[in-house]
Amino acid sequence: MVLAVACGCTVGEGDGADDGRAPGAPTGVTALAGSASSVHVMWNAVSGDPPVDAYEVYRGGRKAGEVPGSLRMLDVVRLAPATGYVFSVRARDTEGRLGPPSRAVRATTPAAAPADSSPPTRPGGVTGRAAGSRAVQLSWSASTDDREVVSYDVYQGGARIHSVGGGQTATVVTGLRPDTRYSFTVRARDAADNVSPAGPPVRVTTASGDDEGRDTAPAGFRAVSHRAADGAYYLDLSWTAPDVDGVVTEYQVQLDGRAATSLVWGGTPPRGRATYSFYTGREKGVAHRVRLRARLPDGTWGAYSAERTVTTGAAGAGPEMGAVRWNPSPARRRSGCGAGLGHVGCP
């Protein structure tokens, strides 16, 4: 079975097991101004054998700092107001091998507010609920400031674990343990680095067992069949990324009960709905079960989407198409069995 790509992404086989080489480049890197003099850099966890020991963050070509391999964020400080910066991240394993740099991301610090010593008001209405056994969904009401709220900092106990932009009032925290009670607070920050008092703490206990939680599953998953001009049948998939604490860059597709392939975006993942197409053969009336899941920013797999059953050539299937459309972003490939296309179940 051949896979035709319509996503501008890397195509791999099965679950993409590690091959023992140096760490890969971190994906899902984001940079967000935390104040007029700081930028908050985040990235997705990199798996490897040996494991990642540390992450190094670079500002332009210079190393700005590093954090242990258990963390996925760093504040780059002592920056100039109203200035653009470029950041990248590299993973280093326990044997000292340094992986390639991530895709470069840009952030611009806001202008400094003159003589601003007034912090924003504390966030109110903080609520939380378990999103399965390894994630928690948090939301809060917006703070106000005499100038502007630039960001919100999320704390787990006394440690800051995440930041979001000033226009965002919800997030999903991943990488938690099952059946564990956590306490979270939220603080607002303005461009002058004034930080509000913490909002009221919210305590949440994650579910027991291996429940990934429906909030970590791709949303709005759809699957239809169409017949191309050459008579071949395709399954066309579309979905929206789960709303989690970072950027989702990898998905695993399960076809007829087994892991079929993994998709990894080399550049910026699409906003809104993503698409992907399977070539399934030339036989009419064949039923397929398909679903997919996302690799979360902490490196673990989220919950599967709803499973869809699609029959090739069934009434209501999509119209004939002359070709599969490609996303304009550049595509890179890994471990395919065909000339330019990845295969499912390659020998």
Which tens digits make up the pLDDT trace of 247-299?
888 899 998 998 888 888 766 777 778 888 878 889 999 999 999 998 888 77
Question: Who has greater pLDDT, 233 or 116?
Answer: 233
- The percentage of the chain sitting over the pLDDT mark of 70, rounded to a whole number, equals 83
Instruction: For residue 151, give the H/E element and its range.
Output: strand 149-156
Mean pLDDT across 69-73: 88
Q: Classify residue 142 as exposed, middle or buried by CB count within 10 Å of its CB (0-12, 13-18, 19+).
A: middle
According to the model, what pLDDT value does residue 122 have?
95
- Angle at CA 339, nearest 5°, toward 333 and 342? 45
- The percentage of the chain sitting over the pLDDT mark of 90, rounded to a whole number, equals 46
Query: Is the confidence at residue 329, as pLDDT, over 60?
Result: no
Query: What is the per-residue pLDDT across 176-189, written as a single tens digit (0 to 9) for each?
Result: 888 999 999 999 99
* Residue 119 phi, psi (nearest 5): -75, 160
Mean pLDDT across 325-345: 32
- Domains for the chain: give ranges and CATH numbers: 3-16+213-321 (2.60.40.10), 30-108 (2.60.40.10), 124-205 (2.60.40.10)
According to the model, what pLDDT value does residue 339 have?
26
pTM: 0.62
Mean residue pLDDT of the chain comes to: 82
According to the model, what pLDDT value does residue 269 have?
76
Confidence of residue 212 (pLDDT cuts 50, 70, 90): low
Q: Position 295: which residue type?
A: R
